[in-house]
Structure 1
Amino acid sequence: MFSGVAGIINRGQKLKGTGGLMQKNVLDINALTAIKSPTGIVTGAFGAIGGAIGTVVDTATSFIGRSVALKLISATSADGSGKGKVGKQTFLEGLLTSILTLGAGQSAYTIHFEWNSDMGIPGAFYIENFMQHEFFLVSLTLEDIPNHGSIHFVCNSWIYNDKKYKSDRIFFANKTYLPNETPAPLVHYRQEELKTLRGDGTGERKEWDRIYDYDVYNDLGAPDQKATLARPVLGGSSILPYPRRGRTGRKPAKKDPNSESRSDFVYLPRDESFGHLKSSDFLAYILKSASQNLIPQLRSIVTLQLKQPEFNTFEDVRSLYEGGIKVPTNFLSDISPIPLFKEIFRSDGAAALKFSKPKVVQVDHSAWMTDEEFAREMIAGVNPHIIKKLVEFPARSKLDTQLYGDNTSTVTKGHLEPNMGGVTVEQAIQNHRLYILDHHDTVFPYLRKINATDTKAYATRTFLFLQNNGTLRPLAIELSKPRPQDDSYGPISEVYLPASEGVEGSIWLLAKAYVVVNDSCYHQLVSHWLNTHAVVEPFIIATNRHLSVVHPVHKLLLPHYRDTMNINSLARNVLVNAEGIIESTFLWGGYSLELSAVVYRDWVFTNQGLPNDLLKRGVAVVDPASPHGIRLLIEDYPYASDGLEIWAAIKSWVEEYVNFYYKSDEAIAQDAELKASWKDLVEVGHGDLESATWLVKKETCAELIEACTILIWIASALHAAVNFGQYPYGGYILNRPTKSRRFMPEKGSPEYDELAKDYQKGYLRTITPKNDTLTDLTIIEVLSRHASDEQYLGQRIEGDLWTSDSQPIEAYKKFGKKLAEIEQKLVQRNNDESLRNRYGPVKMPYTLLYPSSEEGLTFRGIPNSVSI
C-alpha cells in the first residue's frame, strides 16, 4: 500500500495534526463520589460531572508548552535496524476548546510535525505525557499528506505520566494488516506493543497498567473477614472448572493462601474502564452505590420502621408499584439528587417510594398465573433456551447412580395422557410434541446442602405438550428431594398435575413456583452470568495479548468487548461474591458460583451458536429447504425464530469481512497472531475444559467465520435475550420468585390448612420474602436498563474510521441496514395475532431481539457487548 511513496513529502514540510482529548477531571469518578450525605448516599452526582466539564476551559492552558509530546513513526522508511524511522519530538500547541463537535467534554488540539522526505508515510506515533495527571486521548488525524491524503489514528486510551510506563506508548494508524502483510518498518513496533500488553505475569497491577493476563476465580470469598465468607477456588481443576478472569495480582488472603485478598480497588487494564462520564459506567457506579448504601437502608426501613417483613397478599406486592413504600422524607432527599434512582423508584412525593410497574403486569394483574403464560415464558421469557424435546420416556438422569441412586423420572403415561387430547406418549414423542424443562440433574446433588439452610427446594422436571394451536400446555411437574438416609438412596419424588380450583389449584400454583425458582437461579447464574459474562472474558484477554490492534480480527471483535471486563469486575465485587446480592437473594445461596462451575463442565463452544443450540435441544431439525437451514419444531418460538434472523445477519457480515482479508485457508494457517490467540484461549483462558469443547480450530476460513459469529452472538444477541427482560418479567416477584423457603405442604399439616384458607399468604410465605424482593427489584432494574451512549449491533463508536479499507466499511453499513429490515420484520410478527406465543395472556409482545433501542428500561435492543 505504501510502496513507491517515499520521498513524496518535500523536505522540511510541516504535517498538521488535529485530534480530540479529554482531561482527567472530566472523567474522574472522584467527581461523582466527593459529595456524600450523612447517610452515605452519594448526592449531587450529575451536577459534579457538569462542574467538571466546565473546568476544561480553565485548565486547558496546562497543555500549552512542553507538557505532551508526540513522535511520528514511518511505515515505509526504515532506520539501520529495520525499524520505522522515528521523527522529531513535537509538542502539543494548546487546546482549541471552541470546537464542540468532538463530543461532550472533549477538547480539540493541534500539532505540527517536522517530516522530511526521507521519512516516508507515517504509520504510528509515540506519545509522552509529562504532566502529573492522566488524560484520555481520543484521536489524531494527519491532514493533507501530499499524494496520500489524511491518515487517521483512533486512540481511545488513557495516557498517564511517562514515568508510569516501562515502554513508550504507541498508537497505530487505522490501517489493517495481517501479520505477514505488515509493512516491514512497523513489524517491530507491532510485536513490541503486544509484548507490553502481555506483561510478565508478576506483581500487583496498578491502575495505569495495560496488561492482560489470566487468573482463576479466587477472589469471591473473604476468608480473612470471617470463616463463613470463604469460597472454593473456581478454575484450575477438573472438579470446579471455570473460565479465567483478568489477573489483578493482589496479595493472597492470610487465612487461605489460595484465595486472593479483596480490596476496593479491582485492577482492570486501564482502557477497559473508559471513565465515569460515560453513562454505562455510571450505571455500574449506581449498581455499586445501590448495593452498598441504598439496599441496606431499604431493608432497615422495612424491618425496623415498618415492622412488616412479609407480604401478606398479592395486593401488597402490587403496592410497590402503585401505592409505594412509605419512607422517611430524609431518605427521599438523600436519593433525589441522583436522577437514575429517582427514575427507577418513581418517587412521587408524600414520602412514598414506588418501583416502576413491570411489563408483565401492565395489562393484566393475574395473567401470569395461567398455565399458558407459565409455559410461554419458557420460549419467550428471560430464560428461553433451556426447554428441550423429550426423546425418551420415562425421562432419565445422567447422575452417577452410585452417588445419587436411581433418578429416573416417576412421571407415568397415566399422568400425562389425560391432558393430551387423545394422543399417546409414543405418538407425541414421534411427532415432536412432548417437551421438558429439566432442572433435575443440576440441582439434585446440592439439594441436601441447600435445604440445610433457611431455604427449601426441589429438583424439578416439567413436562409440556405442544398443542394444535402452537402453544405449550403443562402436563405435570415432578418435585424431587433426597431421601433422609443419604443421596445414594435416590430421591423422593412427587408428581403434581394441573388444577385451577380449590386447594389443588393452590398446590399446582406452588408447584409452578418451585419450577420457576430453579429456572430463576439457572438463568441468573448459568444462562446470564456464566454463559455470557464469564465465558467472554477469556476471549477479551486472549485477543489483546496476541492480536495486534491492526489485525483484522481484533478490529472485528473490538466492539463486542466493550465494558465486559469492567462490569465483570464489579460483579465479583458486589453481585456474585460471598454474601453478595446473588447469594443473598437467590435459592442457590453460598453455592451459587460453585454450581455454575459444575454446569460449566459440559460447556461446548460450538453449541453456543444458535442453530447448534436448537438442534442439540431437539427443538429444531436440519432442513436445507428452510430459510436458515433448520426447521423449528415449535413453529411459534419467538426467541428462536427472531434469533435465527439476527444470527444469519451476523454470520453474513462476518463472512464478508473474513473473506475480504483472508483469500484462502492457507492465509489462516500462516497467521501467527491468530494461532497464538486461539492457543492461549483454549489452553489457558478456557483451559480447564477438554479439547473436544472447541471442535473448531480456526484453521480454515469457515472455522474462523463460525467462531467469530458464535462469539459475537454470545456477546450481543444472547446476552440481550437473557438480560434486558429481567425487570419486565422478574420485577414482579410473584411471576419470577428467586427463593423457596418451605416444602410443599402435606395434607393435615398447618401449612396445608393455611394454603386452603388463604392461598396468597401460603404462596408468599413460600417464595422470596419482602426484603429480598426489594433487593432484587433494585438491582435488576439497573441491570435491565440501556445506557444513553450504548452502542448497538451494527454501530461502532469510531464511526467509519475503525479501518481505512472501504469495502469492510460498506459491508458493515449493509449489516446495519439488514438489522433495520429485520426489526421491521419482527414488528410485523408481533402484530400477527395468530402467533399466540408472541404476546401471550399478559399481552407482552416479544421485543427482546429488536436490534435498536432508546435509553432506559425498554425491553428491547441488542448492544454490541456484555456491557451491563
Structure 2
Amino acid sequence: MFSGVTGLFDRGQKLKGTVVLMQKNALDIDALTATNNPTGIIGGAIGIIGDVAGNIIDTATSFLGRSVALKLISATTADGTGKGKVGKETFLEGLLTSLPTLGDKQSAFSIHFQWDSTMGIPGAFYIDNYMQGEFFLVSLTLEDVPNHGTINFVCNSWIHNSKKYKTDRIFFANKTYLPSATPAPLVYYRQEELKTLRGDGTGERKEWDRIYDYDVYNDLGDPDQKASLARPVAGGPGNLPYPRRGRTGRKPSKKDPKSESRSDAIYVPRDESFGHLKSSDFLGYVLKSATHRVIPNLRSKATLQLNNPEFNTFEDIRSLYDGGIKLPTDVLSQISPIPLFKELFRTDGEAVLKFPPPKVVQVDDSAWMTDEEFARQMIAGVNPHIIKKLLEFPPKSKLDSKLYGDNTSTITIDHLEPNMGGVTVEQAIQNNKLYILDHHDLLIPYLRRINATETKSYATRTILFLQNDGTLKPLAIELSRPHPQGDSLGPVSNVYLPASEGVEASIWLLAKAYVVVNDSCYHQLVSHWLNTHAVVEPFIIATNRHLSVVHPIHKLLLPHYRDTMNINSLARTILVNAGGVMELTFLWGDYAVEMSAVVYKDWNFTEQGLPNDLIKRGVAVQDPASPHGVRLLIEDYPYASDGLEIWAAIKSWVDEYVNFYYKSDADVVKDSELQAFWKELVEVGHGDFRNATWWFKMQNRTELKEACTILIWIASALHAAVNFGQYAYGGYILNRPTKSRRFMPEKGSVEYDELAKDYQKTYLRTITAKNDTLTNLTILEVLSRHASDEQYLGERIEGDLWTSDSQPKQAYKKFGKKLAEIEKNLIQRNNDETLRNRNGPVKMPYTLLYPTSEEGLTSRGIPNSVSI
C-alpha cells in the first residue's frame, strides 16, 4: 500500500525509468492471408512482406524525439477532484543496448520524469503514440523511487496512434487490489478504464479498438454467397443455445438480416491478437493460408488430376509418411517458398507431399486394429472423457418416443455373456464392469438428413467389459439408422460382435470404424471446439469488462485467456463456418455446429471440473479416503489418473491465492467487480442458462475457488488432453476416420463379396476419402503443434513481475514445482508394465497431460490457455 509520502522528494527531482517495447512485426497475419493476388498466396505474401518492410519507419531510433510520451499518475496524492495527480508529459530518451533482460525483438529506452514531493507515489501512467504505426508496449520500470524502491508496470499491449482512441491509454503498476482497497486517487482511473473496455455496444469495431462485448453465433453462415451456406443462429432467445462470442458489429447480411455479413478479417480486441507472438502468429498464418490456398490445390490437383482419387490399400496410407505423393509442379510452387509449409509437407526437389509418421503407427502399424487398442483409446486417446458406466440394461434412450419411436437398445444378454468369462450382465453392472460409449441419441434426429448426402452412417452404441487385467474389452456394437418408412417407427438396428477371422473380422473392423467416425465428430465439434474454445470466450469478455487489471482474479485468470479469442475468430473464418474444414471433412457436415448446440443444452459449468465429470459419468465414486476425494472404478484410466493430479495442483494453487486476497466470505460478497463479472457471465455470456439453478451464487470463497479451478482446468489441461494428440492419433486416418461413405455390406450383396475378397479396399471406400484425408492431415498437424513461445501451466509471460505481492508469487512457484513433480510421476507410470492402458498395443505412452513440452509436434505439454 502507498503511504507516508510527505517529504520523500526534493522539488525538481526526476524519476528514472526504462520503457521496453517492440515494433510491429513485419509478418502481418491479416495482410498475408487477406491477399487476392492472382499469383497465389506465395507471390501475394512475398509482395506484401516487401510492402510492409519497405514502409516500416518505426525503427528503434524513430521512437526518440517527440514520438512517444508518458505521464505519471499518483496513487497517493489527489488533485482537487479526488483523482490522482497527473505529471508532465515526458518523452523517450536514449536507446539502451545492454539491458540483459531484453527479450527477442525488444528495444529499451531511458526516460526521466519530473516528479516532486507534492505528487506522491506513482501508481499509473498515460501513454501517447504520436507516430503513424502501432507498437507493442512491454513494460515501464521506475527505479529508486524514494522510500519505495522499484515500481513495475507490466503492460503487454498494442499502442496505436493516439488519435485512434476516444480515451487516454492508461496502465497501472503491478499492485493488486480488491475494489474496496484501491487507493482513493486511483479509483476514478480504475473505473474509467473498465468503462472504456465495455464500450457502448454500438458500431462496427475497428482493429485498434479495445472493446469487449457479446454477440450470438450468427456469422458462421454466408447466405449472401450461396443459399446453401445459410446456417441457423446459435445463441439467444428463440435460437439454438450457445455460448456468446465477441461482438464485431459487422453489418447484417443482405439475404438474412439475422445473420452477420462475413469478412476475411474478424475483429478481436487488439490485445487478444497473435501479433506480439512469433510462432503462434505464424501457425495461425499457416492454418489460414493452408485452408484458403494450399488445400484447394491439393484437393483438385494432387488427387483428381492424377486420376487416383482413392486410397486402394493400407500401404497407400503409409506412403503419405514413408514415400509421399508426387505433386504437380504448379501445386509445389504454391507451397515450397514458405519455410513452415516446407517442413509440414516435406516438399523437396522431387515435389513430394510427405507427412510425419503419426505416433500411433510409429512402433506397430497394425496394432490400431486390435480390440484392446480400440477400447484403450476411449480412456487414453484424444477423446478420453466420453465413456460412461452402464447403469441399466438394455441401454435406453432419452429421445421423444412420439417423434422417434422406441430407441431402446437391441443388444441382448445373449450378445454379451458368451464373452464375459462366466460373469452375468447383472453381476457385471453391480460390480462396475460394464461401460458404454454412446453415440446414439445425438445422431438419430440428424441421420436421415446426413445420409441423404454422399455420407452414409449410423448411430452407435458400444458396450465394453472391464477385465481383471484392467483393460477394456468391446463386447458388442449396435449400428442404428432411421426406419425407411418414418422416424416414429423407431430405428432399424443391427448388433455386431467381435470376430478375428474371415469376412466376420472385416465386418467387425467396419463396425468399429462407424463408432470411431461418430467419436471423431463428437471430439472435434463438442469435446474440443464447444467445451474448451467456445465456452471459455464469455469468461474472457466478462473478465475484461468488469475485473480491473489490478483485480486479483483478473491477474489469476489472465494467463488462461491468452490468444483464445483470436484462434476462435480464426475458427469461425475457416474451420467451423459454413463450408469450412469441419463441415467439409467430418460426417456431421452442414449440421456440425447445430449438433454441438444440441449437446450444449445439457452443459453444466459445475460438472466441467474433472472430479464431478468422472462421478457424473459413473467412472468414479466419491471417496474421502482417496488422495483426490474420488476413487476410479477403472483404476488404470490414464486421462483420469493423470488429470486428477493436475486438477489437485491447480486447486491447491487457487486455494492459496484466493485465501490471500479474500480473508472471509464477506469479502467475496462485497467485491463489486467480482459480483458484476459473475452476474454478466451468467446472464449474458452463457445467457441461455441464465435461469439454471446449478450456477455458483458467488457468495463465498469456496464457490469462487471452485469456479476459478474449473475455468483454469478447462482452458489448460482439458484443452491439452483433447487437442495436442490430434495428429498423433488422427493423423493416421485408418485409426480415426472422420467420415463414412457406405453402409455396412449385407450378406448376398456385391459389396459383401468385395469385402470378402479385399477388405482393405472396402474399408478405404467406406471411410474418409483421399481428398478429405489430405485436408485433415494438413489441419491436424498445425493444430497439434506447440509454438516456440508457448506459455505452459505454471509459467507466466510477465515472469516474476505479474504482482508485487510476495506470498502469491511464492505460492505460484510452489505450483510450478508441484507440476514438475507430477511430470516425474507420470513418466514413472508410463514405465510401469502392469498398467496396460498406459501404452497399449501401439506402444504409445499417454503423455498428453505432461505439463511441459518443447516446440513442435510432441503430443505432450499443457499450455496455460486455448491458444491453438
TM-score with structure 1 setting the length: 0.98
Letter in 2 for 1:845: P
1:6 positional shift = 3.6
Match of 1:449 in 2: 449
CA–CA separation in structure 2 for the residues paired with 1:448 and 1:237: 27
SS in 1 for 2:399: coil
Query: What is the deviation of 1:336?
Result: 2.5
Change over 3 Å in CA distance of 1:276–1:667 after alignment to 2: closer
Contact 1:437/1:461 (8 A) holds in 2: yes
Matched residue, 1:191: 191
In structure 1, what is the equivalent of residue 412 of structure 2?
A: 412
Aligned residue number for residue 373 of structure 2: 373
- Asked if 2 retains the 8 angstrom alpha-carbon contact of 1:238 and 1:689, the reply is no
Q: Aligned letter for 1:4?
A: G
The answer (yes or no) to whether the contact 1:6–1:77 under 8 Å persists in 2 is: no
| One-letter amino acid of the structure 1 residue matched with residue 240 of structure 2 | L
Rounded to whole Å, the distance in 1 between the matches of 2:237 and 2:474 is: 39
- Is the contact made by 1:176 and 1:805 (CA closer than 8 Å) also made in structure 2? yes
Q: C-alpha deviations, 1:365-390, integer Å up to 9, x for none?
A: 11000000000000000000000000
Work out whether residues 23 and 56 of structure 1, in 8 Å CA contact, stay in contact via their aligned partners in 2: no
Task: Tell me the distance in 1 between the aligned counterparts of 2:718 and 2:277.
Answer: 27
Contact 1:25 1:31 in 2 (8 A): no
Q: Which residue matches 1:824?
A: 824
Instruction: Give how far 1:96 is off.
Output: 3.0
Q: Structure 2 counterpart of 1:787, which letter?
A: A
- The answer to whether the 8 A contact 1:36-1:43 is kept is no
Q: Aligned residue for 2:519?
A: 519
> Aligned partner of 2:671: which letter?
D
Tell me the equivalent position of 2:226. Answer: 226
- CA distance 1:47–1:609, shift in 2 (3 Å): farther
Partner of 1:733: 733
Q: Displacement, 1:338?
A: 2.0
The residue aligned with 2:652 is: 652
1:612-651 matches, within 5 Å, as: 612-651=612-651
| Paired letter, 2:91 | F
Give 1:352 deviation, angstroms: 1.4
Q: Give the drift of 1:405.
A: 1.0
Correspondence for 1:215: 215
Q: In 2, are the aligned partners of 1:36 and 1:42 still within 8 Å (CA)?
A: no
Q: How far off is 1:237 after superposition?
A: 3.0
Instruction: Give distance in 2, aligned partners of 1:448 and 1:30.
Output: 40
Amino acid at match of 2:13: Q
- Aligned counterparts, 1:763-782, within 5 A: 763-782=763-782
2:188 alignment partner, SS class: helix
Residue deviations 1:572-595, cap 9 Å, x none? 000000010000000000000000
What aligned pairs does 1:730-809 form with structure 2 within 5 A after superposition? 730-809=730-809
Q: Return the alpha-carbon distance in structure 1 between the equivalents of residues 166 and 800 of structure 2.
A: 33
Paired letter, 1:494:
N
Q: After superposition, where does 1:496-535 map in structure 2 within 5 Å?
A: 496-535=496-535
**Residues 255 and 30 of structure 1: CA distance in aligned 2, closer, same or farther (over 3 Å):** closer
Give distance in 2, aligned partners of 1:29 and 1:62. 24
Q: Distance in 2 between matches of 1:817 and 1:46?
A: 45
Note closer, same or farther for the CA distance 1:653–1:50 as it changes in structure 2 (3 Å cut). farther
1:489 to partner: Cα distance: 1.3
Q: 1:272 corresponds to which letter in structure 2?
A: E
Partner SS for 1:837: coil
Matched residue SS, 1:569 = helix
Contact 1:6–1:121 at 8 Å: present in 2 too? Answer: no
Question: Does residue 587 in structure 1 map to residue 577 in structure 2?
Answer: no
Aligned-pair distance for 1:699?
1.3
After the TM superposition, which residues 91-130 of structure 1 pair with which residues of structure 2 at under 5 Å, given as runs?
91-97=91-97, 99=99, 101-130=101-130
Tell me if the contact between 1:26 and 1:105 (Cα under 8 Å) persists in the aligned partners.
no
Partner residue in 1 for 2:866: 866
- How far is the alpha carbon of 1:694 from its aligned partner? 3.8
| Structure 2 partner of 1:855 | 855
Q: Which stretch of the first structure deviates more once superposed, 568-577 or 337-346?
A: 337-346
- Cα deviation for residue 265 of structure 1 reads 2.1
For the structure 1 residues 642 and 181, does the alpha-carbon distance in structure 2 shift closer, same or farther, using more than 3 Å as the test? same
Q: Which segment drifts farther, 380-389 or 394-403?
A: 394-403
* CA distance in structure 2 between the aligned counterparts of 1:208 and 1:66, rounded to whole angstroms: 22
- Kindly report structure 1 stretches of 4+ aligned residues shifted beyond 6 Å: 33-38, 43-58
Aligned counterparts of 1:239 and 1:475: Cα–Cα separation in 2: 40
Q: Structure 1 pair 33/109, CA: closer, same or farther in 2 (3 Å)? A: farther
Task: Indicate the residue corresponding to 1:844 in structure 2.
Answer: 844
Closer/same/farther in 2, CA of residues 630 and 760 from structure 1, 3 Å limit: same
- Gaps of at least 5 residues in structure 1 are none
Which stretch shifts more, 525-534 or 97-106? 97-106
Once the two structures are superposed, the pairs formed by residues 57-456 of structure 1 within 5 Å of their partners are 59-97=59-97, 99=99, 101-237=101-237, 240-275=240-275, 277-456=277-456
Amino acid at match of 1:256: D
Cα 1:498/1:453, change in 2 over 3 Å: same
Residue identity over aligned pairs, in percent, reads 81
Change in Cα spacing, 1:98 to 1:55, as seen in structure 2 (3 Å) is: farther
1:613 & 1:246 partners in 2: Cα distance?
28
Question: Could you tell me how far 1:718 is from its partner in structure 2?
Answer: 0.2
- C-alpha spacing 1:793/1:46, structure 2 compared with 1 (3 Å): farther
396-405 or 603-612, which deviates more: 396-405
TM-score scaled by length of structure 2: 0.98
Deviates more, 1:563-572 or 1:478-487: 478-487
Deviation string, structure 1 residues 810-865 (Cα, Å, up to 9, x no partner) = 11011000000000000000000110000000000000000000000001000000
Aligned length: 868
What SS does structure 2 have at the residue aligned with 1:651?
Answer: helix
What's 2:681 paired with? 681
Give CA-to-partner distance per residue, 1:179-232, whole Å, 9 cap, x none.
000000000000000000000000000000000000000000100011001000
Counterparts of 1:623 and 1:611 in 2: how far apart (Å)?
11
1:474 matched residue in structure 2: 474
- SS in structure 1 of the partner of residue 687 of structure 2: coil
| CA shift in 2, pair 1:52/1:811, >3 Å | farther
Residue range with higher mean Cα deviation, 584-593 or 401-410: 401-410
CA distance in 1, matches of 2:722, 2:555: 26
Contact 1:450–1:588 (Cα < 8 Å) also in 2: yes
* 2:17 corresponds to 1:17: yes
- What is the CA–CA distance in structure 2 between the aligned matches of 1:30 and 1:211, rounded to whole Å? 19
How many Å apart are 1:486 and its aligned residue?
1.6
Please tell me whether the aligned partners of residues 314 and 760 of structure 1 are also in contact (alpha carbons under 8 angstroms). Answer: yes
Contact 2:346 2:352 in 1 (8 A): no
**Alpha-carbon distance in structure 2 between the residues aligned to 1:843 and 1:704:** 41
Indicate conservation of the 8 Å contact 2:373/2:842, yes or no. yes
Please give the alpha-carbon distance, in whole angstroms, between the structure 2 residues aligned to 1:267 and 1:78: 38
Provide the C-alpha distance between the structure 2 equivalents of 1:695 and 1:88, rounded to a whole number of angstroms. Answer: 48
- How many angstroms does 1:133 deviate by? 1.2
Residue 35 of structure 1: CA displacement? 10
CA contact (8 A) 1:611 1:630 kept: yes
Give the residue type in structure 1 aligned to 2:313: T
Is the CA contact (8 Å cut-off) linking 1:33 and 1:42 kept in structure 2? no
Q: How much has 1:58 moved relative to structure 2?
A: 7.9
Q: Per-residue CA shift, 1:236-274, capped at 9, x if unaligned? A: 036510000000000000000000000122101000014
Matches of 1:701 and 1:857 in 2, distance apart?
A: 40
Change in 2 beyond 3 A, CA 1:170/1:382:
same
Asked if the contact 1:21/1:108 (under 8 Å) is kept, the reply is: yes
